[in-house]
Amino acid sequence: MGEFELIRHYFAAASCAQAGEGVALGIGDDCALLQVPAGEQLAISTDTLVAGVHFPEPADPFLLAQRTLGVSVSDLAAMGAVPIGFTLALTLPAAQPDWLQDFARGLDQMAQRCAIRLIGGDTTRGPLSLTVTVFGRVPAGLALTRTGAQVGDLLCVGGELGDAAGALPLVLGQQQAEAAVSEPLLSRYWSPVPQLELGVVLRGKATAALDISDGLLADCGHIAAASGVALLIEQSQIPLSAALVAFAGEAAALQCALSGGDDYRLAFTLPAQYLTDLQQAGWPVRVIGRVAAGEGVTLLDAQGLSVPLLRSGYQHFGSASD
């Protein structure tokens, strides 16, 4: 099967590749054309997932597709953007029909869940890797960025942390657990759901935000550096799921939450005046610390004393504790 036949058969006919809001021209020409309303800006982000680095090989193609798109769309959520479309550059060792069919099905399912359209891409032969570029729209001046945290703000996250990192022994087949424990952990690893609605609600409220991909400590460090402030995290306030604690134990679960990565929850700084209304409206806003004068990230124990940071998060190049 040739490249163009592969694209037409498995991707161009998918539900997520059909015309939709914001997409003036999709798959089938040299470029896609996007239509952004007046007064809005285009948000763009690119992610690459490589076999053996970001996911184990072999991997279930249906789940791999869901993970690939979910982690990419999460960047739009972090900016408070509404999804428009995405491109997929797919490098494959071989064109296997069963693999492609399952991958396309998983991609379409996650795309519909995120209300985002497939608008183009490329296929080539080589070691398995996937590159997704996502496009979204956000009102001018309202995009969430990492640069606005203010002293006195609350430091918040959008829910329980550490499940995806805790699932790694299950993903790699190193351990097993009963379904009530394993299924929610594996779901958080393979099918991360971007917090798009929360990102939109935080426009004009959160002073800084990002999605947690490399670990809470490491990613909070990005906010601290960009905003020129210090972030103080209370260890006792880190939200952990019952499944993660049951599987890994309290201490290991906490380490997963602090530095494991792959959460794709939002972390953000928030003036205290907005907290009650957000929580009463049912939004998953959990306060884990505060913004202070200074620099860097400090983890505090129950007595308010600094806890040594042995590992902050994942890095592709260099030490994870840098």
- Asked if 74 and 194 touch (Cβ cutoff 8 Å), the reply is yes
Q: What is the mean pLDDT of residues 276-301?
A: 97
What does the pLDDT read at residue 313?
53
Task: Domain of residue 83: give its range.
Answer: 3-139
Q: What is the DSSP string of 251-280?
A: HHHHHHHHHT-----EEEEE-GGGHHHHHH
pLDDT digits (tens, 9 = 90+) for 227-255: 999 999 999 999 999 999 999 999 999 99
Q: Residue 299 burial (CB < 10 Å; 0-12/13-18/19+)?
A: buried
What is the rounded average pLDDT for all residues in the chain? 91
H/E element, 106:
helix 97-114
Q: How many domains does the chain have?
A: 2
Judge if 286 and 165 occupy the same domain.
yes
Strands 208-211, 306-307: pairing is unpaired
> Across the chain, where does the E strand assignment appear?
23-25, 33-34, 40-50, 82-92, 117-125, 129-139, 154-157, 208-211, 230-234, 266-270, 286-292, 296-300, 306-307
Distances (CA, A) of 110 to 46, 50, 134, 180, 266: 17, 19, 13, 23, 19
pTM score, whole prediction: 0.91
* Structure confidence by residue, pLDDT tens digits, 255-274: 999 999 899 999 999 999 99
Residues 225, 192, single domain; the answer is yes
Q: The domain spanning residue 51 has which CATH number?
A: 3.30.1330.10
Q: How does pLDDT run across 9-47, given as a tens digit for each residue? A: 667 767 777 767 888 888 878 888 998 999 999 999 999
Q: Examine the domain organization and report whether 168 and 251 are in the same domain.
A: yes
